[in-house]
Amino acid sequence: MTLPCEAGFTRRTMPCKEMESLPIRGRVMKNVCFHWLRDVCCPIAAFVMIGASSVGLVANDTNDLPSSIALSDGQWKQLDNAVDRGLEFLSKMQMPDGSYESQDRAQSAVTSFCVMAYLSCGHVPGEGPYGEQLNSAIDFVLTTQQPNGLFCPLTPGTEEWKLVGSYNHAITGLMLGEVYGMTDSSRQSDLRRAIEKALEFTHREQDEPKRNADDRGGWRYLLPSSVTDSDLSVTSWHLMFYRSARNAEFDVPKESIDAAVSFIERCYDSQRGTFCYGLRGRGRSFYSRSMAGAGIVSLSLAGKHDSEMAQTTSRFVLRHPFTDFNRGGLTMEDRYYYGAYYCSQAMFQLGGEHFTRFYPGLLQTLVDNQNRNGSWPPEANQDGPLGPTYSTSLAILALTPPYQLLPIYQR
């Protein structure tokens, strides 16, 4: 029996032993992704089912790749070298408890970013040079889940818990949804229980009464706000958690996803041609590259790649490139790595000239500014204290869309 997903693929949630490894530009992807044939153990057949946009990825020849992600041999070498060095740096930053070095307030999000950086390069838990480190990192984030389902290691009720708890939770949930089908059966049962509890928390937060009708469907910090009850930044992470979990065959009501997408669409400003942070107060005038990218990615996950909102916002992104390294393109709150991550994934989703005009400049800039030890310098603005694991993991995630290995971001 096969289960069709929205895109018309079939999915399985357990690795198939006959599906060994698939070469992708010299990299190896184990267990492919969630879009596997349930009963057919044929790597080529399974990979073809991923979709037309992925045809050609089982190859080592750049000419066999879709034109939207075709890079020169020199660019592929730059990419491979940069991310391999970055992953080696991250491997040295793991703490004894499995977390990756950063501020306590940023855990478990930073550790989840690091795990996704490895996944985006084809590494999976329990196998290869980083397999045990990934297992240890997953074990750590599971320990941060609180009785109500929230992923956050901070003391409940504190000011920092209220401010960053929702971010930690949604980012961690996204990572666990991505890694769920890449783990063995014993670990998978633990992940299932944790993800189900996490989804219950996310549902409750989304359904909290909103003082303004146009905030319905979104999420905010874990504290009452005097101005707004939802914002695009937090909402986009919870939406990605929903989509990742649904791809992994967890029960996520379609109406919950639709409500989140509708809120994000209301954050679009047609006069500026991009997305704002929120619908009132200061949030209505807060524009950044990260919010532009978040809006495009969110619409893409809903199958709205060709919408006028997404297409117009891509032109906003192209007008504010990332070639001025570690500088905010618009304001001091326009975080460089956070924006680069979102915009790279967004422009890849749009494909064609959107990506080919955007990505080479970002690739060259990040290659030119990588430290000798493989890291990237910390964020230049207020996120600098999060340290080089944060900046390096996001830099890797910004670079790796051409590999197309993270299931949620596959086109």
| Residue 404 lies inside a defined structural domain of this protein | yes
Ranges of residues in the chain with a pLDDT under 70 are 1-69, 224-226, 329-333
Question: What domain count does the chain have?
Answer: 1
Nearest partner of 275 among 261, 289, 257, 262, judged by Cα: 289
Helix (H, G, I), strand (E, B) or coil at 268: strand
pLDDT for position 331: 63
The secondary structure of residue 356, as a DSSP letter, is: H
pLDDT for position 225: 65
| Residue 351 lies inside a defined structural domain of this protein | yes
Q: Which amino acid is at 156?
A: P
List Cβ neighbours of 410 (8 Å cut-off, separation of 6 or more).
Answer: 33, 35, 50, 51, 53, 54, 404
pLDDT for position 87: 98
Dist. CA 362–CA 266, nearest whole Å: 29
| Residue 6 lies inside a defined structural domain of this protein | no
Given a contact cutoff of 8 angstroms between Cβ atoms, the answer to whether 409 and 69 are in contact is no
pLDDT for position 410: 83
Which pLDDT tens digit goes with each residue over 223-273? Answer: 766 678 999 999 999 999 999 999 999 999 999 999 999 999 999 999 999
Dist. CA 348–CA 291, nearest whole Å: 16
The reported pTM is 0.86
| Residue 319 lies inside a defined structural domain of this protein | yes
Q: Which domain holds residue 390?
A: 66-409
| Residue 338 lies inside a defined structural domain of this protein | yes
pLDDT for position 123: 97
| Residue 36 lies inside a defined structural domain of this protein | no
CATH number for the domain that contains residue 181 = 1.50.10.20
Nearest partner of 75 among 395, 371, 365, 406, judged by Cα: 365
| Residue 27 lies inside a defined structural domain of this protein | no
**Largest alpha-carbon pair distance within the chain?**
56
| Residue 31 lies inside a defined structural domain of this protein | no
Which pLDDT tens digit goes with each residue over 87-134? Answer: 999 999 999 999 999 999 999 999 999 999 999 999 999 999 999 999
Helix (H, G, I), strand (E, B) or coil at 13: coil
